[in-house]
Amino acid sequence: MSTLYLIEQGAKLKKESKKIVIEKEGKILLELPDFKLEKIFIFGNIQISTQAMKFLLNSGIDTSFFNINGKFIGKLMPVESKNIFLRIAQFEKYKSDEFKINISKKFIEGKIRNARTYLLKFQRNHPEVDFSQSIENLSDNLDELKRKNSIGSVLGLEGRASAIYFECFGKMILKNFEFDKRIPRPPRDPINSLLSFGYSILTSEIFSVLSASGLDPYLGFLHSVEYGRPALALDLIEEFRQPIIDRLVIEMINKEIIKVDAFKEEKGQVLLKEESIRAFLDQYERRIRTIQNTEEGEKNYREIINIQIRKLSKTIQEDKEYTPFEIK
């Protein structure tokens, strides 16, 4: 099955016979058999015909919309999952402070463990860097996390752990880029721009799986509920930031797949140029399909996200303990 990324501004997506066709100014840019299509990511000004829209909805093909700078706008979605009992259970669990604290600690445990593992692996392969004190501090954070008894204290500890991790993250960059600290919005430098772009795409993928499962992506346990904020998707992304996006950004910079001239400044933000978005998306697709050894066997990251959401559903409905994903 194929994932289609559309960034050619002014292009049009059409349905013809048994094919999906992408054209621009009367010229066909791409033809793809409709049965091979699994996901579509659409960036910027691209049109979709009514016939194509009906086909995507009827076929359940996940279609996400972003502005040209990678900000997630929304999704083309078929009728919502019929699993009303799961959503009822989710809303009931949201009322339980004990449940919210316990599951939030699991999300952050996964995030800190994966941050620590990534630093260990990088240090092993680059003996010129020394992250030993930061790794020890993250281990202390994990011990401290067990004693936290409020969402506020969990978030406070997560903030301290992230600061420790991102101080090391800047030292992983071996090429002509500078990174001081994580600033999500607006991105003021190329590294923050790449991280924000990647997190936005990954959040949309998690959002889709949550919706398909029957969970409400807007009702989270760790992140506060706000109008239009996909809080549960933001909860679940925590354990996937390092293995998918952070590692991807470091590899693209250090292997010079993305260089300093790949960016532009616009309204006080540093953003990827359109041609560089293509390079990022190619590498993102490669990364999201990377195989990992799990308890369920060899799975790629898209499959692992599905597994984790099924685990979360069982935790909500059956009170089974949630175990966050950990990189090995």
Q: State how far Cα 127 lies from the chain centre.
A: 30
Asked, for residue 174, whether it belongs to a domain, the answer is yes
58 and 178 assigned to the same domain = no
Q: In angstroms, how far is the first alpha carbon of the chain from the final one? A: 27
Residue among 6, 77, 84 at smallest CA distance from 45:
6
User: Cis bond leading into 187, ω under 30°?
Assistant: no
* Alpha carbon distances (Å) from 79 to 82, 163, 167, 274: 8, 41, 44, 33
Q: In this predicted structure, which of 272-276, 282-286, 311-315, 320-324 has the lowest mean pLDDT?
A: 272-276
The number of C-alpha atoms within 13 Å of 272 and in the hemisphere containing its C-beta is: 27
Asked if 244 and 97 sit in the same domain, the reply is: yes
Residue 325 lies in a domain: no
> What band does 242 get if pLDDT is binned at 50, 70 and 90?
very high
Are both 60 and 191 inside the same structural domain? no
Same domain, yes or no: 309 and 232 = yes
129 has a pLDDT exceeding 70: yes
- Checking if the pLDDT of 60 tops 90, the result is no
Shared domain for 46 and 116, answered yes or no, is no
Residue 167 within a domain = yes
Average pLDDT, the chain: 93
Q: Quick one: pLDDT at residue 267?
A: 85
Query: Are residues 21 and 170 located together in one domain of the fold?
Result: no
Question: Which band of pLDDT confidence, cut at 50, 70 and 90, is reported for residue 36?
Answer: confident
Q: What is the pLDDT of residues 258-267, one digit of tens each?
A: 999 999 998 8
Q: CA 203 → CA 47, 155, 191, distances in Å? A: 23, 19, 18
Question: Does residue 326 lie in a domain region?
Answer: no
Angle between helices 301-318 and 84-94 (to 10 degrees): 70
Please, are residues 127 and 107 in contact by the beta-carbon 8 Å criterion? no
Q: Helix, strand or coil for residue 275?
A: helix
Residue 327 lies in a domain: no
For strand 72-76 and strand 62-66, is the pairing parallel, antiparallel, or unpaired?
Answer: antiparallel
Spatial contact of 138 and 165, defined as CB atoms under 8 Å apart: yes
**pLDDT score recorded for residue 303:** 96
* Nearest partner of 131 among 122, 140, 139, judged by Cα: 122
136-191 per-position pLDDT tens digit: 999 999 999 999 999 999 999 999 999 999 999 999 998 889 898 998 888 899 99
Looking at the structure, tell me whether residues 255 and 125 fall in a common domain: yes
Can you give the CATH number for the domain in which 38 is found? 3.100.10.20
pLDDT at 53: 92
Query: Do the domain assignments include residue 158?
Result: yes
**113 and 23 part of one domain:** no
Q: What is the CATH number of the domain that holds 128?
A: 1.20.120.920
Report pLDDT for 1.
67
| Whether 55 and 99 share a structural domain | no
Helix axes 190-213, 301-318, angle to 10 degrees: 50
Same domain, residue pair 152 and 69: no
pLDDT at position 307 over 90: yes
Q: Mark whether 121 and 53 lie in a shared domain.
A: no
The reported pLDDT for the residue numbered 184 is: 80
- Residue 119 domain boundaries: 84-318
CB 289 within 8 A of CB 301: yes
| Mean pLDDT to the nearest integer, 313-318 | 97
Considering its fold, how many domains does the chain have in total?
A: 2
Which of the two residues, 17 and 271, has the higher pLDDT score? Answer: 271
Taken in order 114, 116, 121, 125, is the CA torsion positive or negative? positive
Among 28-37, 78-87, 114-123, 202-211, which stretch is predicted with the lowest mean pLDDT? 78-87
> Cα separations (Å) of 214 from 245, 302, 313?
26, 18, 9
Residue that terminates a domain, selected from 43, 76, 109: 76
> Using alpha carbons only, what angle is made at residue 115 by residues 252 and 216, rounded to the nearest 5 degrees?
90
34 in a structural domain: yes
> What Rg, from alpha-carbon coordinates, does the chain have?
20
- Asked if 67 and 90 sit in the same domain, the reply is no
Q: What is the pLDDT of residue 200?
A: 95
Q: Is 328 contained in some domain? A: no
Which of the listed residues 59, 76, 93 is the one where a domain comes to its end? 76
Task: Answer whether residue 76 shows pLDDT above 80.
Answer: yes
Do residues 236 and 210 lie in contact, with contact meaning Cβ atoms separated by under 8 Å? Answer: yes
> At which of 53, 76, 99 does a domain end?
76
